[in-house]
Structure 1
Amino acid sequence: MLNGRFNDSDFTCISGSGRSVVDYICVPYEDTESILDFKIMSMSDLIAEIGYVPEKIPDHSLLYCDIHVPMCDAKYNEKSDHAFNQRRKYKVSDIPNDFLKTEEIASKVHETIRNIENSMRITKDVQNAYDNFQSLIICEMNNRLPSINYSNGNMKQKKSLYKPYWNETLSRQWDQACIAEKKWLKSKGSNSAKRYLKEAFCAERKAFDRINRKFKRRYQQEERQKLEDKLTPRINVTFGDR
């Protein structure tokens, strides 16, 4: 069991009813040396990191681990960190009509297909067969497709994952709920003090859920009204023509 092996003994379930460890990751004992790290991330920390608030916040935390896979070392060592992070982007809307249709590339396609068939028949190595085909396509894309230039500041801004009705009130209440949760989880005081902090956390979380539903309903009503306002003139014109 990975829980507790990496100085990460946080609770895996946090709710108004209490806190507990009910989720685990178990691996064969002989594979424990391949586990590099293990983390437990609460929903409040996860939401704060990715910037997305779901309709209903789960009680269970996220468990994840880093696994060392020796067979992948050679492939990753061939690529520098810079090349890995700077992947080329292609203008797929501007594909030439003869893409993958020239005699040279057609010959390579048939050769690759034969190699894939042989690889599948002899070694049954699906990954190697896929890598061969992928290399062929990438080579043709590098030679034939134009790439997107981000040097002129054309890179699109990252889309916000927050709800469209997210505002300062929700953000402030969410921060208060997260602070109350951390105080409760890290409390080392008496049972009465822990009970008080738990009640404070439950109150802050319920307050967030309440105002979240409020602003969601308001946003939906406004969007529905906008749609009705757009459709009303068209309906009037249609009946007027009749």
Structure 2
Amino acid sequence: MRCQEYGYGLGRPEGIFVLRYQSEGPLEFGAIARQDFLHQLYWSPDGALSALHGGDARFLGPGEAFWAQRAVSHEVRAADRQTVYRICLRQVPPGLAELRAGPVVVSVETGRLIRDLARSGVTEADALADRARIMAALAPYSPAGRDSGDGPAPGAPASGHGSGHALRVARALAHDPSDARELAAWAAQLHISAKTLQRDFQREFGMPYTRWRTRLRLSAARALLGTEPVTRIARRVGYASPSAFVAAFAKEYGQTPARYTRSGAGGGRS
């Protein structure tokens, strides 16, 4: 596992500490106690995250991060070959004052600012200015929230030319990959035709709905492998049987989940 650290204004309330993880194996983060920075935000630009807090397990959808205030027990998991940013803060963003732990919205611009902080050559003044913009923009995720600020779904950058319908469906599915609704059912709920929704998926993600859903389910499953039985993972990500899950996984990654876990990637824990 490779971890890069970037600190700005350390030791001051307005400071920020950013850790950028890249690993060949799965990543798992627990409730980490630090003496200086206590509140934490986890965000991945290129894959799904699963988060556990208070017995509530959920997947994070497009344009989202997981927020945990200090002393709040939590676990966050990511799949192998995935980038994860962990942002540590002394202060709570104004929009998250009432949220002890849970998903928050990360807009395209906020994601860019986070990535900019995790690179060399950034002056402290510029970094703290970016930190202020990040703090002001963070807000709890709401199912009724706007779609326009969302980033792309895990593993599939959006083109920016869609109507937003595909993003609404993608966000809902990322929260619950086991949702069995087909394209026509989603289209009916959105009061559009199935053809229109399929076209929007193709524009946003470069692939049809069924292909995108399969990739989402398997990405979510990879974040859980090695932590739960395959039978439970299969059910949580929407497969009717373990055998169907194993077959889909092997087709996508060229090996069974068991072999993948043994070979892969014996990941990192932080």
- TM-score bucket of the superposed structures, by smaller chain: under 0.3
Higher relative contact order (CA 8 A, sep 6+): 2
Q: Which has the higher helix share?
A: 1
The structure with the larger Rg is 1
Q: Which has the higher strand share?
A: 2
Give TM-score, length-normalised by structure 2. 0.18
